[in-house]
């Protein structure tokens, strides 16, 4: 069983530590800063084997160099981001496999938020580390890619098993929920999800992981085929990509 620790850092980032108790190997996903990771490694007696970066933004790679210097770990990221990732060692592309001891993850290319964004799907562990491509009830802003690219990226994630646990890199759930209600106001499952999220945040608890099943029911960026949603945003009989693009535009100005 893969041990997963969630480390809240900065204002709303999450770093994930993945540990294989059989081999002793440990990975850090998107380490924004180094010190919290080093502290947990020391507390647990773990050795950092590698860093898995989803994309090049500083709040995902800021801890790379210090962690590499102090642990000798390998830095893994999308091949096309090789010149933008501090400490870059190994480039991966769609369908490549990375291993953490006895656990393996397939790389999925998800351009949209950035051009070189990748995510890591541990199918046997039923987990997805998706950076800034997919959030609880949201998706990443289109900084370097198009709505069409992001839509195609999200289709890949929608196709994963519904029980897949989603570990995104930010705590955006309350704000995402408030927006989702404006485009999908009659969605009872969405309303219930927001109630649960508000309860968790009142206790300062993370709202991750979510699941693909929950996102299919509540995430407007997974629900461009909903006629109710299309009517709300006045995009009936438009293509799925056009509907998605309008939802993203509305969220950008929310």
Q: Where are the alpha helices (DSSP H) in the chain?
A: 35-44, 58-61, 64-71, 147-158, 173-183, 188-202, 212-218, 227-232, 240-252
Q: What is the DSSP letter of 2?
A: -
Instruction: Tell me the CA distances in angstroms from 140 to 60, 128, 130, 136, 210, one per residue in order.
Output: 14, 16, 10, 11, 16
What's the CA gap between 37 and 10, in Å, rounded?
Answer: 13
What's the CA gap between 113 and 149, in Å, rounded?
Answer: 9
For residue 59, the Cα-to-chain-centroid distance in whole angstroms is 13
Tokens representing residue 106 in the block: 């397939």
What's the CA gap between 250 and 105, in Å, rounded?
Answer: 34
For residue 152, the Cα-to-chain-centroid distance in whole angstroms is 16
What is the residue whose two structure tokens read 């995430």?
Answer: 219
List the end-to-end C-alpha distance of the chain, in Å, as a whole number: 40
- Residue 27's H or E segment, with its range, is strand 25-29
Active site residues per annotation: 55, 57, 59-60, 113, 132, 170
Peptide bond into 179 cis (omega under 30): no
């Amino acid at each position: 069983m893969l041990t997963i620790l969630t480390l809240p850092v900065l204002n709303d980032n999450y770093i994930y530590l993945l540990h294989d108790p059989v081999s002793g190997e440990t990975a850090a996903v998107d380490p924004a800063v180094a010190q919290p990771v080093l502290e947990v490694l020391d507390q647990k007696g773990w050795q950092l084997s590698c860093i898995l970066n989803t994309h090049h933004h500083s709040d995902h790679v800021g801890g790379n160099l210090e962690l590499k210097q102090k642990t000798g770990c390998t830095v893994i990221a999308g091949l096309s981001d090789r010149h933008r990732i501090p400490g870059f060692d190994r480039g991966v592309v769609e369908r490549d496999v990375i291993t953490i001891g006895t656990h393996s993850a397939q790389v999925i290319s998800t351009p949209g938020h950035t051009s070189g964004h990748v995510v890591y799907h541990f199918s046997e562990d039923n987990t997805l580390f998706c950076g800034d491509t997919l959030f609880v009830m949201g998706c990443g802003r289109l900084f370097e890619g198009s709505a069409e690219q992001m839509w195609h990226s999200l289709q890949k994630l929608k196709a994963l098993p519904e029980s897949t646990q989603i570990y995104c890199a930010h705590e955006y759930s309350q704000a995402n929920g408030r927006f989702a209600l404006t485009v999908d106001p009659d969605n009872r499952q969405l309303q219930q999800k927001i109630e649960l999220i508000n309860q968790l945040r009142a206790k300062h608890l993370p709202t991750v992981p979510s699941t693909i099943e929950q996102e299919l029911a509540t995430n407007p960026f997974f629900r461009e085929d909903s006629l109710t949603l299309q009517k709300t945003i006045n995009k009936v009989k438009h293509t799925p990509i056009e509907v998605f693009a309008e939802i993203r535009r509305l969220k950008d100005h929310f």
